[in-house]
Structure 1
């Protein structure tokens, strides 16, 4: 039995292939909250808040008991087929103040995802090819947004946010692994989509800029930086961070280290050595022109700020003089 929350909340019987999907938002939210807090008691009061928020029914405790009973019946079918572990049933246990799901973390797809992600992270430096495979397996467990259709209260909302952040981090590591194994030509389209889906996440811009540069597309890599800068100023009111600015500078000056695919393993002498495609003269001149325009825009912005300060000072001074004349005239 595996309890799945990386998508619609469901229970999978891995031996028979059957799937158990709770019907109704309250049933899904109840199962989701119990899975998120598996092995720990959740008080009845907190479960009521999770299911109904600030508008519980008059008989909230009884309504919760009815939902728990229905969920127990839903899980009893797969439980009865699992004759090897009769001591593990029932799944939902009544505690002193609430309920708990008798479930080990290893029985959830979220735990499997975290295990594979940790393995991929450890392999990234010494074996990026293996890291890419592990991270791909981890990400394949996702069937949709975490806890899809079950986020009614804080328990599930907080967990959905945490899991989504871990998914994005796993995506970043996987594309980093692909760059380390020379697969930059395969991933530019996917990274473009990710920068559009997550316009304030700098790491995706970083990875895309490196991939484009290694494909010999320097001007496009610099254009990605300008797009990132525009979006961040619009969305967050800030400039890109120092890491992205430094990458833009390195691309502009053709840092030789950027063209090399990092990786500790020596190349196989029997295989031809791949070299990055050189940027053509048009791309280089366009990149230089973009950099010149970028510096010009920054200089104009500084001059505009200075003029605005002078204008405010003159306005304030004129206002003080008017007040002085009016006072003397009175």
Structure 2
């Protein structure tokens, strides 16, 4: 968490953990009164010092001095902007939400979302700008209490959604070759987030790497079953079936600028040992589809039997 004065260009980064947490909490609640009691909870939790109110005042005074310096070293005290204002119940940071990176990120993300249906190229550019604002985990070094922890969780979720939407925009403009590596890393880092697997499978398929796309589904299924104890959702299963049958709908937009040309697909001789794993994997996937269909049919029959018995009773 750092503060930058636009007039001087100077950056303020509090060195102490309590100072960073105090600044972050006030920034999250910028323009709103934050009670002293809540700030004490944010900084010390359930173990505040005996003189917590005085300790908070000392931290606020130090932060005020830090924030006043960038306004100009030679500026008169009366002309410096009073960033932190004392209120009857606590403190307010006189900073509009639009002056924070978090607000700028949200604004660019929302603009990208609105542009996606009709101009995915613009969406990609807007989300590139939005994601460039991130320089590490949300509110890094400031997570002492609920104010910052809750906001960090919201921002992290928004960042993942923005990454998904950006990759979707790249796929829609034919830039699948540029995001295969990034999507593979994201799927590894977030093993229960099915959307990353979905986007990765489409990107690989459009690069002519069908076997790898199908292998991603199997990895996703094992990871999701291990982490959550459930099967992948219908969207991922349907995509696997589409890939197996070379569904024309998967070709998408013909992109003018992939990052790297797709490797030419080779057709090995039937006796080639390198073809066996692929054939075995394809056969396994076909058997898996048939098993899922049989399970579905059995459930449907059981449902009909139960509803028939209920009506008869």
* TM-score, L = length of structure 1: 0.79
8 A Cα contact 1:259 1:276, kept in partner = no
Cα deviation code 1:51-85 (max 9, x no counterpart):
001111011111001001110111111235798xx
User: What's 1:290 paired with?
Assistant: 281
- State the aligned residue count: 283
Alpha-carbon distance in structure 1 between the residues aligned to 2:3 and 2:243: 49
Q: Residues 144 and 82 (structure 1 numbering): CA distance in 2 closer, same or farther, change over 3 Å?
A: farther
Structure label with greater radius of gyration: 1
SS at match of 1:57: coil
Q: Tell me which residue corresponds to 1:116.
A: 108
Match of 1:192 in 2: 184
Specify whether residues 70 and 78 from structure 1 end up closer, same or farther in structure 2 by C-alpha distance, changes over 3 A only. same
Q: State the Cα distance separating 1:214 from its structure 2 match.
A: 0.4
Question: What is the TM-score with the length of structure 2 in the denominator?
Answer: 0.83
- TM-fit CA distance, 1:15: 3.6
Report whether the alignment pairs 1:55 with 2:47. Answer: yes
Match of 2:140 among 148, 172, 187: 148
Query: Could you tell me how far apart the structure 2 residues matched to 1:247 and 1:276 are?
Result: 21
- Three-state SS of the structure 1 residue aligned to 2:30 is coil
- 1:99 alignment partner, SS class: strand
- Within the candidate set 201, 216, 225, 2:208 is matched to 216
Determine which of 156, 177, 199 is the counterpart of 2:169. Answer: 177
Cα-to-partner distance string for 1:130-155 (whole Å, 9 max, x where unaligned):
11111101100111001000000100
Contact 1:219 1:284 (C-alpha < 8 Å) held by counterparts: no
Q: Is 1:164 aligned to residue 156 of structure 2?
A: yes
Could you tell me which runs of 5 or more consecutive residues in structure 1 were left unpaired when the two chains were aligned.
1-8, 304-330
Alpha-carbon spacing, 1:183–1:82, altered in 2? closer, same or farther (3 Å)? farther
C-alpha contact (below 8 Å) 2:8/2:71 kept by paired residues? no
**1:278 offset after TM fit, Å?**
8.0
* Deviations, residues 182-212 of structure 1 (Å, cap 9, x unaligned): 1111211111111111111111111100000
